[in-house]
Structure 1
Amino acid sequence: MNALNSMTSTVRGRVWLPGDPGFDTARRPWNLAIEQPVAAVVEAADAGDVATLVRHARAAGLGIATQPNGHGATGRTEGTVLLRTRGLDALRIDPVARRARVGAGVPSGRLQAAAAPLGLTGLPGSSPVVSVTGVALGGGLSWFGRAHGWVADSVTAFDVVDAGGDQRHVTADTDPDLFWALRGAGGDFAIVTALELALHPAPRLYGGRTLWTVEHATAVADAYRQITATAPDELTVWLELLHFPGADPMVAVDATYLGGEDEARDLLAPLDRLPAPLSDSRRVMSVAELGSITAEPTDPSAGRSRGELLTTLDDVTLKALLADPIAPLLSVQVRHLGGGFARASDSPHGPLTEPYALYLFGIPADPATAEAVAAKQRDLAGSLPVSGRKPFTFLGPDETAADAFGPDVLARLRAIKQRYDPHNVFRANFPMGG
């Protein structure tokens, strides 16, 4: 306990210990369904503070689990110091070089808001509140990944604190193995305090959600499949089966197009031949407004998710997908992949050759509901042609790195972990050891 108490005078940032006011709030992950036991919480003041903490923790034999907010928390934090990096929030954009330097605590929506007036974009996912660094460390499935690949493919450098407490600038030239591992295998190797990434031109964007009652699900799914069969890389379309509490089941198509409205409407024309929708929010928009499409919660909440990769979306698959109501799930999402995702990628996961991703989400309001949600996810995934591997960023708390990476890649990652963190100072959500 002395090592924990002494942190209050060692680091400059805020420290919470068990029994301190606010400790339970400080250790709480974004996903309130995850119990996150920790020995202490530290909110670092800057990268130098992170380095001080690492040296202190290593000398005391303490592990460190790093989270800006804890969107990917798994609860594997017993006995660790939970490091919050929200205060590392510097953001700088070079519009000429189309590069951004992003602190570990910067959320995706903030990067988008800064890049949009310059006609540029990062590679954001569906939520504007997830950190850019967290997304990149998991590989990152972006709205614009069909055009530009994994989020990690755009990262050009990392600023890290290594297991010895030293600050390092990591690139493909300085530390090729560490750079490779950080581009999609999580935070088990070093603490990322900032990263540098390429931005992409986005002078025009059209997107939004079109929503129908569930009675039209088969027709909507057929239209979705028709659109994705010939979609250019600039067009991304997701199919959503939705059942919100207190509402009737619905079906939606979410879309973004990196281009003009006229071209987008031509590409999405099969949707306009369907029965009149309940709502249609498609419009010309800024890349800073992407979070409005799916309107995911921006405050912490409980959830249980499962991700899979689909090998096909043929008639048999659609029939199985639509055979039964999705309850007790809130959403079943099918994301079109291909394009940039399928191209060569110097990242742990490599190219995504599967054409679609499946994401199943429910709220475990109580133990019985939690089991029902898990059973529905398991049964539905079991009825569909899944490939057997998953994107690292889609892993659930009960899964391991071995569910995302093949044996050869996992062996390489474990060797890198042993080289850069032989004393296991860093405790990632999904450690390379399992």
Structure 2
Amino acid sequence: MNALRTLRAAVRGRVWSTGDPGFDASRRPWNLAVEQPVAAVVEAADADDAAALVRHARAAGLTVAVQPNGHGATGRTDGAVLLRTRPLDAVEIDAAARRARVGAGVSSGRLQAAAAPYGLTGLPGSSPVVSVTGVALGGGLSWFGRTYGWVADSVTAFDIVDSEGRQRRVTADADPDLFWALRGGGGDFAIVTALELSLHPAPRLYGGRVLWPAEHGPDVMDAYRRITAAAPDELTVWLDLLHFPGSAPMVAVDAAYLGEASEARDLLAPLDRLPRPLSDSRRTMPVSELGSITAEPTDPGAGSSRGELLTRLDDTTAKTLLADPVAPLLSVQIRHLGGAFARPSDSPHGPLAEPYALYLFGVPADPATAEAITAKQRALVEALPVSGRKPFTFLNPQESVADAFTPAVLDRLRDVKRRHDPHDVFRGNFPVLA
């Protein structure tokens, strides 16, 4: 296609197309179980380059899909130009105003490292390698969300390239509908080249993981339920049922507390009355080391996930979760929500009434294992009290925006899409018009 042949002349950044050395590596998503077909890949040199790409795509009738490093890929990219935004990596901290401006390629870990010397924090999730922008566009469930809400709630401005290739700044005052959609509605409306967000005080942080053999699962679950029933908003606690290949099943509790270690130890005291753990990494730590708690992989790999929201964690729910081994899943994770998550939020998600999130993950090493993982996920969900709604950030490639948002919210998102991208230049991982 002539438009693809002239793409190299339209941008200053690197371009890969079919047959080029490195093309397959350049289009590879983070989840290697997802096939990501694209017409070409562009690594933007800067925001001006991203704007030049959009103008070229708009004139040539091409679509543009944006991914810093491939998290959240669904494979809905056939025929699109994949834009990588990793070089947009500037981080600016205004400590006095408690504000940060980060480029679209900045990872959560880099923001945390930049903010930590000032006793400040962004709202990081479990992985330090996911981009701040990607997390915000998906809403974002953070370790500190019980205190400060969705990651998107902290965003105060977006720098974007619109569907005409113009660079603009989007705020609640300048463009309230687009600002609302970008705060958790996905990447289907514009290219975000940078965002501005509020930082939050984090002078003290205590956290870590405690790990036991799976035989202690009932006692650990009981302690977890007692802790979360009385937890202040500053405390976030997750429970993990784990079965790694080549090892015995285990159960873990992950915790992060915005406050003094002595207060955290008192709140987590039920864990200390349990049998001796295999390991206990709890300690006072800088906010830049939050990613060490769950030690999620920092390199791409194959995965199969399913997320849900639990309406309760009562005796029956607990027994169902513990009734059978988690295999062939690698992990069954329960995240305590509540707190600020349940309070008003001017974002597509709005408040989360459900008190817990459920995340089921396995590694599909072969077709038979992939089928077994999906069957296990389905059986567990059918046996548990789930609400039927799920966070956008938990959607898997087989799901759609209709699984995350109410019909009224979806109608509003579609209206924003039609008005701001009438020629469908942008294709998010989860297109709102699909």
1:214 equivalent to 2:217? Answer no
1:137 corresponding residue in structure 2: 137
1:239 maps to amino acid: L
2:184 corresponding residue in structure 1: 184
1:328 equivalent to 2:328? Answer yes
| Alpha-carbon distance in 1 for matches of 2:84, 2:349 | 27
| Alpha-carbon distance in 2 for matches of 1:206, 1:262 | 9
1:367 maps to amino acid: P
| Alpha-carbon distance in 1 for matches of 2:9, 2:190 | 24
2:385 corresponding residue in structure 1: 385
Q: CA deviation at 1:191?
A: 0.5
Q: CA deviation at 1:108?
A: 0.2
1:82 corresponding residue in structure 2: 82
| Alpha-carbon distance in 1 for matches of 2:155, 2:389 | 24
1:299 corresponding residue in structure 2: 299
SS of 1:428's equivalent in the other structure is coil
Q: CA deviation at 1:309?
A: 0.1
2:258 corresponding residue in structure 1: 258
1:290 corresponding residue in structure 2: 290
| Alpha-carbon distance in 2 for matches of 1:154, 1:387 | 26
2:359 corresponding residue in structure 1: 359
2:155 maps to amino acid: V
1:66 corresponding residue in structure 2: 66
4+ residue stretches of structure 1 with deviation over 3 A? none
SS of 1:294's equivalent in the other structure is coil
1:219 maps to amino acid: D
RMSD after superposition: 0.4
Instruction: Give per-residue Cα distances to partners, 1:384-413, cap 9 Å, x unaligned.
Output: 000000000100100000000011110000
1:202 corresponding residue in structure 2: 202
1:105 equivalent to 2:113? Answer no
| Alpha-carbon distance in 2 for matches of 1:415, 1:395 | 22
2:94 corresponding residue in structure 1: 94
1:148 equivalent to 2:148? Answer yes
Q: CA deviation at 1:90?
A: 0.7
1:211 maps to amino acid: L
Q: CA deviation at 1:124?
A: 0.1
| Alpha-carbon distance in 1 for matches of 2:366, 2:425 | 34
Q: CA deviation at 1:9?
A: 1.2
| Alpha-carbon distance in 2 for matches of 1:144, 1:322 | 27
Instruction: Give per-residue Cα distances to partners, 1:155-176, cap 9 Å, x unaligned.
Output: 0000000000000000000000
2:234 corresponding residue in structure 1: 234
| Alpha-carbon distance in 2 for matches of 1:375, 1:115 | 43
1:49 maps to amino acid: D
SS of 2:288's equivalent in the other structure is helix
Give the 5 Å matches for 1:3-42.
3-42=3-42
| Alpha-carbon distance in 1 for matches of 2:111, 2:349 | 25
| Alpha-carbon distance in 2 for matches of 1:418, 1:170 | 17
Instruction: Give per-residue Cα distances to partners, 1:7-62, cap 9 Å, x unaligned.
Output: 11110000001000000000000110000000000000000000000000011110
Q: CA deviation at 1:433?
A: 1.3
TM-score by length of 1: 1.00
| Alpha-carbon distance in 2 for matches of 1:58, 1:375 | 42
Instruction: Give per-residue Cα distances to partners, 1:207-266, cap 9 Å, x unaligned.
Output: 000000000000000000000000000000000000000000000000000001100000
2:80 maps to amino acid: T
2:125 maps to amino acid: G
1:97 maps to amino acid: A
2:421 corresponding residue in structure 1: 421
